A and B are shown apart, each in its own frame.
Chain A
Amino acid sequence: MDLIESYAEELQLIRRPWTRVWVGVLVAGLLLLPWYVSDSWITIATVIFIYSVGALGQNLLIGYTGQISFAQSAFLAIGAFTFGHLARFGIPWPLGLLAAGVSAGLFGLVVGIPSLRLKGPYLAIATLGFGVAVYQVFVNSEMLSGGRMGLIITKLAPPFGLSQINFNYYFYFLIALFFTLVTYNIISSFLGRAFIAVRDNDIAAEVIGVNLTRYKLIAFGISSFYTGVQGGLYGLFTGYLEPNMFTFMESVTLFVAVIIGGLASIEGSIFGAAFVILVPQLFGMIPALNDYKELVPAVYGVTILFVLIFQPLGIYGMWFKMRLYFRNWPFR
């Protein structure tokens, strides 16, 4: 669609002048959101930001590198509890978050090792096994999980007289923005193209000099780093951790977010995160839907069927087609 003439242009994040304007408007709109939206929506938006970090990581792995993983709940738990224990020792949050990401990333490298030999369905099962095993370790070990009462984390105190809700909003917005920018840069660099080459044809990729072992492991490491950070952020946001927050369903939810949002697209990951957060919230908010809360997984499932059969690129695909239509209007 876009004609790219030089490598510098390829590396550019934004290519058209008008896109700059739209992105600027969007960021400004999000920054001003607390002024014209009620507090409950601000909280929902905050949770979406937290989730989009993990969805981005999962999309790097599934969408860009083509490696399936159901171990995300394990990485979430590892990140969250690393962060929680460090926070109890009084380690400041930036270091704690980094440690959460790094510890999850190291476990990600370990889980990545089977990916060198296994493909598709087998990899799905190996990662699933790891996810469930880690969950059970946390459930059975009171030392790791902080006992029956769970792990209490002190929340950050808002500076400059901001309210707790608004402070949370800005804090998680900036972190999500940071991770989005990092992901854009990963994708447009050599690393991202190596990932895509591995996904499209691993043997051909190896022939042209992409070290399969290295890039598959890096993909697992980066993806679980993101997920670990999400776990840490989640702990910081709720102020409370227990193993039952990280069941197999949590992996499925992240997976659903990526599939519905759109495989191999960064905007899609954020759309997907918004979808999986908003749907249960809508069921809780609209009184007519209150009785049907148990149907939330069914809504995810039906959406997955529709997306995969009719719109394989997910919400991002719809958005892309819409944009193309308006850009080329009145031509088709």
Chain B
Amino acid sequence: MTLFFQYLVSGLATGSIYALVALGLALIYRSTRILNFAHGDITTAGTFMAFTLLSLNLHWTLAFVIAIIFGSVLAMAFYFCVLVPAQRREATHLGQIILTLGLGLILQGLVSYFGGTVPQAFPFPLSDIKIYHLGEVVVSQLGLGTFIIGLLACLLFYLLVQKTRIGLAMRATSENLPAAQTMGIPTRRVLAFSWGLAALLGVIAGLFLAPALLLDPFFMLEPFLKGFAAAILGGLNSLPGAIVGGLILGVAESLAGGFISIAFKNTMAFVIIILVLLFRPEGLLGKEFKERV
């Protein structure tokens, strides 16, 4: 039983990272119907920014804040400089998704060139080795910090979307774009804000993930794909779904790795994707889609 709780706790810590990634993906999907294939690479770029600043002996709070802002600005710049012109030229829906893939490739190339492809250890204020005892269950300082920051970010995000004026504008824009425009909402700026916010959540996830793994230009690929899986599991249209999906996926993965086989741990997420899409494509908390001719 202790073992079960142990896996549960470590699963929740990983799950909160997946939840942050999934939240960013779901936010962009909900408001623009675009699957952001560049999400992982924007995150990587932000994390590398933090790494560079840290190696310049900057204080970590400052480095992290600059990295997060850098990631958001990158996403907003992509929205304004690439997606908006493409939409003016009536790019198809598939075309816009491919544009994000293009951005991902560009960032991947630039990060490999400037950051180097050699895996590096990421210095972090929280330690991976220092541990706390909760009853018989052991949790590392990093794991605990990840979980707390993840929940805090989700909570703040919820308050932003549900309780503020800009959150209302975001909800209106994702609900019905032309109607929001007629009501005088500056939809383009609101959408850019959504892109920035999504990147912000992603970079936070990346910063907490980098010390657990080694930092190289591809370190976000797998967490990003699992974030996708989490978003699908919860329903791509639903923000609470992304959080729930992330946590469930983290726990399921940890339990599968502990009780079935460690090789099965990584495949789990992709099996979940295929099963969910086959039996309940709208996800756990999403609304069922109806198609009209």
A positions within 8 Å CB-CB of B: 66, 68, 113-114, 117-118, 120-122, 124-126, 128-130, 132-133, 136-137, 140, 203, 248, 252, 255-256, 259, 292, 294-305, 308-309, 312
Minimal beta-carbon separation of B133 from chain A (angstroms): 34
Known: A252-B101, A302-B102, A308-B91. A125 touches B277 (CB 8 A): yes
How far is A292 from B114 in the complex, measured between Cα atoms in Å?
Answer: 10
Q: A121 near B221 (CB under 8 angstroms)?
A: no
How far is A72 from B289 in the complex, measured between Cα atoms in Å?
Answer: 28
Q: Which residues of A contact B180 (CB under 8 A)?
A: none
Select which of A66, A125, A133, A252 is within 8 A of B228 by beta carbon.
A125
Q: A305 near B273 (CB under 8 angstroms)?
A: no
How far is A308 from B104 in the complex, measured between Cα atoms in Å?
Answer: 15
How far is A308 from B105 in the complex, measured between Cα atoms in Å?
Answer: 15
Q: A301 near B109 (CB under 8 angstroms)?
A: yes
Minimal beta-carbon separation of A128 from chain B (angstroms): 7
How many residues of B sit at the interface, in one of the four size bands?
A: 35 or more
Q: B263 near A129 (CB under 8 angstroms)?
A: no
Q: A122 near B270 (CB under 8 angstroms)?
A: no
Select which of A113, A295, A304 is within 8 A of B98 by beta carbon.
A304
- Is B188 part of the binding interface, using a Cβ–Cβ cutoff of 8 Å? no
Could you tell me the dominant secondary structure of chain B's interface residues? helix
Segment 218-270 of B: residues with Cβ below 8 Å from A: 221, 225, 228-229, 232, 236, 263, 266-267, 269-270
- Is B198 part of the binding interface, using a Cβ–Cβ cutoff of 8 Å? no
Instruction: Name 27 A/B residue pairs within 8 A (Cβ), A-sorted.
Output: A117-B281, A118-B281, A122-B281, A124-B35, A124-B97, A125-B273, A126-B277, A129-B225, A129-B229, A129-B277, A132-B270, A136-B266, A136-B267, A136-B270, A137-B267, A248-B225, A252-B101, A259-B98, A295-B112, A298-B109, A300-B102, A300-B105, A301-B107, A302-B102, A304-B98, A305-B102, A309-B91
Q: B101 near A133 (CB under 8 angstroms)?
A: no
Q: A309 near B35 (CB under 8 angstroms)?
A: no
Minimal beta-carbon separation of B199 from chain A (angstroms): 17
How far is A140 from B269 in the complex, measured between Cα atoms in Å?
Answer: 16
Contact flags B267-293 to A (C-beta < 8 A → 1, else 0)? 101110110011001000000000001
How far is A137 from B91 in the complex, measured between Cα atoms in Å?
Answer: 37
How far is A19 from B97 in the complex, measured between Cα atoms in Å?
Answer: 37
Q: A304 near B273 (CB under 8 angstroms)?
A: no
- Is B94 part of the binding interface, using a Cβ–Cβ cutoff of 8 Å? yes
Minimal beta-carbon separation of A280 from chain B (angstroms): 11
Q: Which residues of A contact B34 (CB under 8 A)?
A: 121
- CB-nearest residue of chain B to A303: B102
Q: A128 near B228 (CB under 8 angstroms)?
A: yes
Q: Which residues of A contact B281 (CB under 8 A)?
A: 117-118, 122
Q: Which residues of A contact B35 (CB under 8 A)?
A: 121, 124-125
